[in-house]
Amino acid sequence: NPTPLNPTPLNPLQIDIHALAADFIANVETCNLEALAAMYAPDGIVNINAIGVDQPAAETFETLRAMHQRAESIRYEVLEVIPTESGYVQRHRLHVVVPQRGDTGPQHLVIPACLVVTLKDGLVARVDEYLDSSQIAPLFQR
């Protein structure tokens, strides 16, 4: 029986993992929340290591929206996508330009990160995101 630690294996030939991963990150990068929501299973979960709790995917959209509102630009440099039996792992660098604040010029952040994505019936059932929270902190400082 499938469990969170042993999800139902996928047949990698049935799903184009690289296309799905590209669409997913493109929707995150452009903050296309409607398209992103359509990619998630109804009970999709996100766990960002910096926050440390499982959250319904829809709740994390506010954080994503806030990132886009605070940033001058956000770009994902995908380094690799590795298909797994239950989904995929993606390594990337998150490039963020934090706008000028007062006497401080724009900051260019480059944040190494990793996503572990679990799929169920072709939809994103779970995302575990790992990044160094201290590196993205300047985006959320006022």
- Residue 80's CB is within 10 A of a number of other CB atoms, namely 11
Q: Which domains does the chain have, with CATH numbers?
A: 17-140 (3.10.450.50)
Examine the pLDDT at 3 and tell me if it is beyond 60: no
Burial class (CB in 10 A: 0-12, 13-18, 19+), 4: exposed
Could you give the angle at which helices 133-140 and 57-70 cross, rounded to 10 degrees? 60
Q: How confident is the model at residue 9 (pLDDT cuts 50, 70, 90)?
A: low
Q: What is the distance between the alpha carbons of residues 93 and 108, in angstroms, rounded to a whole number? A: 12
Q: What is the pLDDT of residue 115?
A: 96
pTM: 0.82
> C-alpha distances in angstroms, 61 versus 55, 93, 135?
10, 20, 20
